[in-house]
């Protein structure tokens, strides 16, 4: 979940466009195939290549994608061979087992299924019709294309992996094509007899060799290792910049996505790129990144102007800039505000040595908290929920969430009904403005309701969101005051 939040807040990589007008003929026929639990396996099993969108009817992004996806399906139906686009309502109860099987964490999620569904890959292309068509034509064709002239590869602003071979046969060539098949949704692959046809042609290269071109660092790297698994790891390591650059240039967005998808701890330096110190910061930061390369930490430098989503997500303020923040895989965050260029290296060393205390994002503690539904923030979560010795129903909400707004008056009524019961508290926390303990609560969407008994047992409420059902759930699952007393005596 966190990865999806980062990417959505940091980037608007793809423009999810609104509805387009269609000719009456295309309105009469739906080109996107509707699948569900009853026909999914049989339908997918009959196709070598099929694209499936998992969506929810209430999802705004899904609604915006729908006309683009339909238009792309219409165009691709005329392809030779046709490319089939399908969709599954993952919110439908009977289809949730499919969503679980394909590890669907958010909507819309698009998967590419190959060879009857035996190979599953994430769709990582654009989300407007022309971009979908272009991306899927490449994905449905050969995994690697032959370079026959210098004009065949001209875009060096992205990663391109080229195999140079004296002949297109043999174990090394077959391993290269297997690599291309495995990683084709991530990178563009090509092969050639003649190294002079490579971007920035190089007549000194003789195959077999794999050359990875990239628009950063040393610009290209050669591999002569042809074990598929080893080569895949080498490609992955070489395709991440020493320091990922985040600004408004869309050419950098794929590398920002890779940065956030990395399993490493993530160090992010936010600076005003118009500052007189920007070149000094970049130089010092790059030195630190080189020092820790291969040590489970990745580095990004972001322009404040382009990083407002990050500031909202991490609870940062512009008067803290220049600042560096590190987030680890367990969700802990470490912050150094108003950092100077010469202090970056020593602070990162302190972090690696375990000398830096975690930073917690929290809204201010309310001065008045007298409404029936109590407000919890990160700084009061421990005292109000975990240490309260009360039965607490806690709502995780987002201020912009329509379902949360519908639930609010119902929770108010539930809270009022328990006002005379000192052992029960109804509370809420803005999950977008406060850090949530990792591993304790699994908040995948809003609203999410959890119930903590007075004795400390935590469970998620998954019943109907009516006053009567929620009250009934609390009565059945709560600990009574007398129960608490007996438990303490036993202890």
Active site residues: 59, 62, 401, 404
SS3 186: coil
Q: Which two tokens stand for residue 191?
A: 């092969």
Cα–Cα–Cα angle for 393, 394, 396, nearest 5°?
150
Residue where the block lists tokens 């602070």: 347
The 10 Å CB-count burial string (b at 16+, else e) for 27-45 is eeeebbbebeeeebeebbe
| Residues 334, 342: Cα–Cα separation, whole Å | 18
Q: Within its chain, how far is the Cα of 331 from the centroid?
A: 14
DSSP letter assigned to residue 50 = E
Pick from 69, 65, 29, 67: nearest CA to 51: 69
Q: Which two tokens stand for residue 215?
A: 């628009």
Q: Within its chain, how far is the Cα of 133 from the centroid?
A: 23
The 10 Å Cβ neighbour count of residue 118 is 9
Q: What are phi and psi of 37, to 5 degrees?
A: -60, -25
Check if the beta carbon of residue 251 is closer than 8 Å to that of residue 308: no
Check if the beta carbon of residue 95 is closer than 8 Å to that of residue 107: no
């Amino acid at each position: 979940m966190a990865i999806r939040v980062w990417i959505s807040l940091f980037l608007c990589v793809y423009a999810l466009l609104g509805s387009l007008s269609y000719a009456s003929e295309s309105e009469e026929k739906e080109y996107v195939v509707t699948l569900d639990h009853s026909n999914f396996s049989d339908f997918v099993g009959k196709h070598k290549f099929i694209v499936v969108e998992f969506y929810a009817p209430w999802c705004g992004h899904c609604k915006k994608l729908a006309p683009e996806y339909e238009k792309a399906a219409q165009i691709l139906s005329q392809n030779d061979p046709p490319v089939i686009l399908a969709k599954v309502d993952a919110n439908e109860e009977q289809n949730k087992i499919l969503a679980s099987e394909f590890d669907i964490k958010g909507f819309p999620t698009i998967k590419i299924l190959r060879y009857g569904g035996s190979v599953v890959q994430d769709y990582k292309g654009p989300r407007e019709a022309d971009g979908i068509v272009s991306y899927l034509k490449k994905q449905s064709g050969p995994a690697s294309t032959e370079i026959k002239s210098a004009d065949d590869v001209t875009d060096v602003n992205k990663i391109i992996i080229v195999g140079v071979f004296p002949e297109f046969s043999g174990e090394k060539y077959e391993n290269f094509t297997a690599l291309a098949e495995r990683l084709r949704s991530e990178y563009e692959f090509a092969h050639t007899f003649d190294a002079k046809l490579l971007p920035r042609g190089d007549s000194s290269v003789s195959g077999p060799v794999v050359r990875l071109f990239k628009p950063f660092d040393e610009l290209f790297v050669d591999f002569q290792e042809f074990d598929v698994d080893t080569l895949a790891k080498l490609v992955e390591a070489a395709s991440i910049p020493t320091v990922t650059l985040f600004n408004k240039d869309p050419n950098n967005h794929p590398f920002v996505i890779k940065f956030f998808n990395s399993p490493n701890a993530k160090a992010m330096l936010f600076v005003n790129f118009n500052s007189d110190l920007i070149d000094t910061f970049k130089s010092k930061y790059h030195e630190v990144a080189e020092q820790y390369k291969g040590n489970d930490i990745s580095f990004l430098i972001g322009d404040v102007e382009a990083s407002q989503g990050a500031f909202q997500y991490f609870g940062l303020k512009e008067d803290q800039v220049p600042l560096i923040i590190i987030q680890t895989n367990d969700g802990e965050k470490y912050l150094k505000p108003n950092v100077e260029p010469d202090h970056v290296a020593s602070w990162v060393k302190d972090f690696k040595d375990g000398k830096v205390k975690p930073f917690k994002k929290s809204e201010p503690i309310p001065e008045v908290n007298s409404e029936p539904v109590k407000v919890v923030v990160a700084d009061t979560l421990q005292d109000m929920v975990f240490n309260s010795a009360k039965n607490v129903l806690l709502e995780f909400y987002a201020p912009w969430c329509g379902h949360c707004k519908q639930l609010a008056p119902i929770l108010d009524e539930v809270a009022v009904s328990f006002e005379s019961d000192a052992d029960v508290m109804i509370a809420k926390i803005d999950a977008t403005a406060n850090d949530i303990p990792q591993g304790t609560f699994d908040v995948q969407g809003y609203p999410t309701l959890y119930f903590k008994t007075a004795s400390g047992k935590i469970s998620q409420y998954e019943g109907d969101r009516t006053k009567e059902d929620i009250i009934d759930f609390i009565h059945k699952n709560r600990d009574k005051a007398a129960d608490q007393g007996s438990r303490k005596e036993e202890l």
